[in-house]
Amino acid sequence: MTDQRKATRTVGGIVDFEVVFPSSKVEVAELHAASGVPVADILAITHTEEFPALDEDEAAWELAVAAGRAVLDRTGISPDDIGHVVYAGSGEWDQPFWSPAAKVADELGIRHAHCFEVTNFCNGGMTAVRTALAELALGTARHALVLIGDRLSRLVDHEDPESKALFNFGDAPAAVLLGREDCLLDVLASSMRTDPSWADYYSGDIEDDRVLMRRRGRRQGLGDAYLENFPARVDDVLTALGRQVGDVAYLLINQGDKGMHEKLLAALGIPAEKSVFNYHRYGHMGGSDPLIALGDLIAEGRLAPGDLVLVATSGMGFTWGVTALEYRGR
């Protein structure tokens, strides 16, 4: 390990994490019936006939509670040891003008934490991880709990053919327990950047008491922006760590666009077998996508202690981020 890498190592990392899937699904046949878009065109976006989504009677915060309870029970960490509860996503929570972080804390019996929200869309989860670790480094708390609790499927107008690029948006709330020691994965470094010229590319409309995402205009070049910003962020973290692309065991990414995923790997010179493709199983689960992939790698025994994993996340705005993790093992 080089001195440069020691100097850039974050204090702490991921102690444990859990993803909880909702009870319902969005089916391509339903999307076709509602929008009139041909099934083949929808499958070119979803790559699966169905994917998890919240039922009408389910709330994202409730599933976030289940995820949080799972990691606390599994690790034996007391709610009294949680100093920060951070709820991340798009800002369109289950209720308006409301703190889901505080609600989850109350349900989990966390009584002495600072509870707050981070809005950075599908980059929100990793932004919250970075923010919470900074809080741990500054204070006396030993642990923080990050919840990813978007409700993306509720924000898509499935009757609008112009929204078909968003038809793969589903839901999978998650919890990430962070600590300053005994970590499953150390968080080594991260680099994030927003190109504000894309701020108005998507925005929401309020229709029949729902907030619905709408693309504004026909501006070209977003794909090029992805292929410019993600490799730049990868270069940032590898340079900070004194590492090279060949040292990367896996690169994980939001599962929003399979074609972009493949182009990014090609641009970086990373083979497909050093990533995880879940498009045939799930849609785009927002900020939980890389956690699902990470869980698969661990469950299948495909990670060894010391492996370097890069997590590439993006969010409307548009923001691109890459977070470097080192697997320590359980």
Whether residue 168 sits in one domain with residue 190 = no
Whether residue 50 sits in one domain with residue 158 = yes
Whether residue 206 sits in one domain with residue 137 = no
Residue 67 in domain: yes
Whether residue 217 sits in one domain with residue 71 = no
Task: For the chain of 330 residues, list the mean pLDDT of each consecutive stretch of 10.
Answer: 38 95 98 98 98 97 98 98 98 97 98 98 98 93 97 97 97 98 96 97 94 94 97 98 98 97 98 98 97 98 98 97 96
Q: Which of 143, 161, 182 is the last residue of a domain?
A: 182
Residue matched to tokens 């199983």: 281
* Domain around 115: 13-182
CB 99 within 8 A of CB 117: yes
Burial class (CB in 10 A: 0-12, 13-18, 19+), 222: middle
Whether residue 295 sits in one domain with residue 160 = no
Beta-strand relationship, 50-53 and 24-27: antiparallel
Q: Which of 128, 157, 182 is the last residue of a domain?
A: 182
For residue 120, give Cα distances in angstroms to 145, 294, 307: 17, 21, 28
The count of structural domains within the chain is 2
CB 50 within 8 A of CB 24: no
Residue 1 in domain: no
Residues in the chain, total:
330
Whether residue 119 sits in one domain with residue 59 = yes
pLDDT for the residue numbered 218: 87
Whether residue 266 sits in one domain with residue 292 = yes
Residue 72 in domain: yes
pLDDT for the residue numbered 140: 85
Residue 2 in domain: no
Name the nearest CA neighbour of 122 among 181, 170, 74, 61.
170
Whether residue 273 sits in one domain with residue 171 = no
Question: 212 - beta bridge partners?
Answer: 205
Whether residue 177 sits in one domain with residue 71 = yes
Q: Which of 125, 153, 182 is the last residue of a domain?
A: 182
pLDDT for the residue numbered 278: 97
- Rounded to 5 degrees, what angle do the CA atoms 96, 119, 238 make? 165
Give dist(CA 262, CA 211) in Å, integer: 32
Question: 140 - beta bridge partners?
Answer: none
pLDDT for the residue numbered 189: 96
Residue 7 in domain: no
Task: Output the domain CATH number for residue 224.
Answer: 3.40.47.10
CB 16 within 8 A of CB 184: yes
pLDDT for the residue numbered 10: 57
pLDDT for the residue numbered 317: 96
Residue 123 in domain: yes
Residue 4 in domain: no
Whether residue 316 sits in one domain with residue 299 = yes
Give dist(CA 145, CA 129) in Å, integer: 9
Secondary structure (DSSP) of 61-87: HHHHHHHHHHHHHHHT--GGGEEEEEE
Residue 3 in domain: no
Name the nearest CA neighbour of 18 among 249, 240, 173, 197.
173
Whether residue 315 sits in one domain with residue 195 = yes
Whether residue 225 sits in one domain with residue 128 = no
Name the nearest CA neighbour of 324 among 222, 229, 252, 228.
252
